[in-house]
Amino acid sequence: MAITLTRPDDWHLHLRDGAAMAAVLPDTARRFGRAIVMPNLKPPVTTVAAARAYRDRILLARPAGSTFEPLMTIYLTDNTAPAEIAAAKQSGIVHAVKYYPAGATTNSESGVTDWHKARPALAAMEQHDLPLLLHGEVTDSDVDVFDRERVFLARHLAPLQRDFPGLRMVLEHVTTADAVDYVRAAGPKLAATITAHHLLWNRNAIFQGGIRPHAFCLPVLKRERHRQALVAAATGDDPRFFLGTDSAPHARHTKEHSCGCAGIYTAHAGIELYAEAFAAQGKLDRLQAFASERGPDFYRLPRNRDRITLEPVPMPVPATLAYGEHELVPMRAGETVAWRLVSATA
Ligand code: DOR
Ligand code: ZN
């Protein structure tokens, strides 16, 4: 049976820039009303002026007639000035600040080397009530890659909450039962986003008959027990878990490489993949809260007023999609997704 939802928003998205952005933006704009746009460009979006210019480029690249609204973020560095945070809040276009531990992932070289250095900016965010978005992984080379999220919780997140008790934070793309338990036990100022790929795949997907670079993302996929904890959180009652695709396009040749990039492209089926994960639990009735209600409530924005309809008809996914002068390999390439977007009505 078809389902109709309040139009969802994507609370964690990589749009890139230039021709790459123009190629991927229509996939998101067709499905989602708004998206929190990640600032990890080269160079990163560290100022309000850069965020404003990036936003203008996104608006220009929207398909004709689209009302998709990019919600901008700025990239926290060791040197982010409190005045930049005040200006960000004042701008009305910057909705959060992103914390990448330096070296954690794609284009994170300019990220935070030690968050104590960013204390003035964090205090300003707390003062101005501008949320902090966390890539919640430690980067220490002696910590096992599958443990990096769990170690981040005790080593960095707990002290951040202690020192900035008024700061609203989103633990982005949670991947472990540990993170789910941590968020559940925390107060209303901490929320988490969950990707579709972490709901649908466990770490076996990376090694299915050989090494699968298109299933590599960060934080890396975890074991089945963790996937099940994420599914329980997404389909459960706690309002602090909501949708963030982390759709992260990379040109095919940069993933099919001896040192392949992290990131999975899901925007082509950005809501359909979640419908599949929820339907598998018999919890489609919970999709609207997760996809369309809890995110705007946390970010203190109005919920969308228009709707979308999905039907349980298999949608074939092409083997590749155009990506500027290159191509990318989307999630489920050459296979099908169990749901299809039928219509979007005002
Ligand atoms: O898999 C990922 N890809 N994780 C990130 O944190 C960054 C993202 C990207 O920008 O490609
Ligand atoms: Zn991301």
Domain boundaries, the chain: 9-303
Verify whether ligand 1 is closer than 6 Å to residue 102 (CB atom). no
d(CA 294, CA 299): 9
Give the pLDDT confidence score for residue 60 in this predicted structure. Answer: 98
State residue 242 phi and psi, 5-degree precision.
-145, 175
Residues of the chain with pLDDT under 50: 346
Number of H helices and number of E strands within the chain?
13, 15
**What is the CATH superfamily name and number for domain 9-303?**
Metal-dependent hydrolases (3.20.20.140)
Q: Is the peptide bond before 43 cis (omega within 30 degrees of 0)?
A: yes
Give the pLDDT confidence score for residue 285 in this predicted structure. Answer: 98
Is residue 218 classed as helix, strand or coil in its secondary structure? coil
As to burial, measured by CB atoms within 10 angstroms (0-12 exposed, 13-18 middle, 19+ buried), residue 322 is middle
Question: What are the C-alpha distances in Å from 128 to residues 29, 84, 120, 282, 330?
Answer: 30, 11, 12, 41, 38
DSSP category for residue 78 = T
Give the pLDDT confidence score for residue 346 in this predicted structure. Answer: 43
Give the pLDDT confidence score for residue 345 in this predicted structure. Answer: 54
Verify whether ligand 1 is closer than 6 Å to residue 266 (CB atom). no
Verify whether ligand 1 is closer than 6 Å to residue 14 (CB atom). yes
Taking the centre of ligand 2 as the mean of its atom positions, its distance from the CA of residue 68, in whole angstroms, is 19
pLDDT tens profile 50-86: 999 999 999 999 999 999 999 999 999 999 999 999 9
What sign does the CA torsion over 145, 151, 155, 161 have?
Answer: positive
Whether this prediction's pTM lies above 0.95 is answered by yes
CA count, 13 A, side-chain hemisphere, 175: 26
Q: Which atom of ligand 1 is nearest to the CA of 262?
A: 1
State the distance between the two ends of the chain, measured CA to CA, in whole angstroms: 21
